[in-house]
Chains A and B, each alone.
Chain A
Amino acid sequence: MRTISLSETSVREVNRQLHDQTAELAEAQWRITDPEGRHALACGLDQTLEVEIDGHAGYYCAGMNQKARVTINGMAGVGVAENMMSGQVRVKGNASQSAGATAHGGLLVVEGDASARCGISMKGVDIVVGGSVGHLSAFMGQAGRLVVCGDAGEALGDSIYEARLYVRGSVKSLGADCVEKAMRDEHLAELRDLLDAAGIDARAEDFRRYGSARELYNFKVDNADEY
């Protein structure tokens, strides 16, 4: 394992060393110390690296991740794992707004709470939040699964397409075109798999499922007067 301190090495240099692993995977395990809330840590990784960030991270940590497993031993700022393609990002503390925004794949685990707009425009990512999520989570979600072990804020799943949302606690309000749906066996099975993958101890039977009513997909002539 290689350890680099951000009090001695710049973010740009650390990211360059991680990107250099693309050509030759000489060092698979990395520990980054003293992050002190710096932005854009471990962004754009595209190899099977294990990266541990020892402390609190700033904005856009592990953005655009592919294949790598990034663990943040602290909180994450705005846009953690935004546009992730694959791999896994784990936040041991709380996450700020827009966690997993636009992400296409991989697994994002937030062990604490995630703030507003968690999974906004999610396009295939799986997100498991141990605590609660803020307002407008999964806004315009297109694909993927969002699991919330606590509560969800206002307008959950507003204008949602096909993402599937599982919430154990209360939902303050559902957004436009988001409805509660029956929890069938296949949903219980996929939820169990997601909780297992996230390492979170919770009973799938305690969750409710939400998704798109598919009323906003196409123009409806009944709405003509609105224009």
Chain B
Amino acid sequence: MNLHEGAANLLEVRGLTKIFGSLKACDSIDLGIARGEIHALLGENGAGKSTLVKMLFGSLEPHSGEILWNGQPVRITSPGIAKKLGIGMVFQHFSLFEALTAAENIALSLNDGAPIGTIAAKARALSYSYGLPLDPDALVGDLSVGERQRIEIIRCLLQTPNLIILDEPTSVLTPQEADKLFETLERLRSEGKSILYISHRLEEVKRMCDRATVLRHGKVVGHCNPREETASSLARMMVGSEVRAVERPPAEGMDQAESLLEIVNLNRKPATPFSIPLRNINLSVRAGEVVGIAGVAGNGQGEFFEAVSGEVLQQDKASVRIRGRQVGGLDITGRRLLGAAFVPEERLGHGAAPRMKLSENLLLSRHATDGRAFVGTAGMIDGKAIYSAAQRIIEVMDVRKSAPDPEAASLSGGNLQKFIVGRELDRKPSVMIVNQPTWGVDAGAAAHIRQALIELARNGSAVLVISQDLDELFEISDSIAVMHNGELSARIPIAGATYEKIGLLMGGAEPGHAAAVNAAETAEVA
């Protein structure tokens, strides 16, 4: 590699454009990354961040514009070429084989025929020197999400890149793990490496990044020094308008309120070798309150949701109670008929059937609860009724779409999520359980959804929110419990909750104390 001494920027992007159909995902983007800087790429979902990064890493080809590397124009037509140039990437969604060890996974991507032992030794040395200790012989399936991310980072560093692209790296980490990562990044910066840091968490960008480029609707709306901005001025640049803050009126008379959702000693054996067993989970959610469940991804939240929603039945009928009824043996339809509503984490393929229209997707979760309104005699679907109900939800939730009744898959993630949440809110459920309500949803829509959940609770429903986004949970919850390795901590009232406290629990401190504390609580109530 020719290093042009004095060339200002390691990477320079000029007028880079990518068009999908009629949509300009990236519209003449200009961007420069200097040596030894941490450069933030900010933007809402759909702003074009991923498209830009994919072009830099060679997975997408730009329509026009140029990329300069060390001052030389280059064409990056594949990730292999990007790696050879010295561009490394750590993806948000890991690409690791769970049944292989860390070292084997690294060897697969290095593809240079070196013996596993050598690679393992190198990986171990590198990981300790960067303060990201890693056991190369551990099976990936046994590792936490944070540890898996380390493998990805080490794998990337082994290729001695000059530019490292990190896509939302802290979204799967506890606050403490994130701090560790920041130290590593600062160390890399001091070694003269450049980092392109993609995030929507403004606080960490302010804390770490030297410069920021903000994207909106595929265009660069500004370059700035994040240290000189406030979180709200950055948010304004990202969204283009003021984001309405979520209001959480105080919950009153909660002590006397009835428990609408109770989970008592819920256990579940792992369904597959890599799924998490649930152990002795206890929780109750009263009418009028929002309870949040925090936790790093993959600690049993999905298994918990399946058990509570009734997609998977329980042996112990009393382990889940909705409005006082024991529902462990009832399926999801039976639980819905008792007034419960559910929003799963995956939108396409779980919360909605991708190839079906929105009106049909309305029927998906409400064919039984609203049978009288939507299904006529002899099981005939009332097309007009579901169409007008779908339009009502679209209006209330401000769902943006291209056709009157489009297929679910044609909506952007955020808009589909608004529809799926709106579909359940429209029923005014007395118990609402939501997994990742605003994952991948833009700031404006996220605020809308969060406000709607709080209002539902204040109008007398019990709301349970499972989320990996701590900011979100602090914004909407009246108390927070933490799930770690299939166990749930006791509820911590929001007044006494701090990021540090929750973070420690997310990392596995004080495991297994939930049962004891909850038992004490119940005794108190009785």
Q: Do A and B come from one complex?
A: no
Chain B positions near chain A (C-beta within 8 angstroms): none
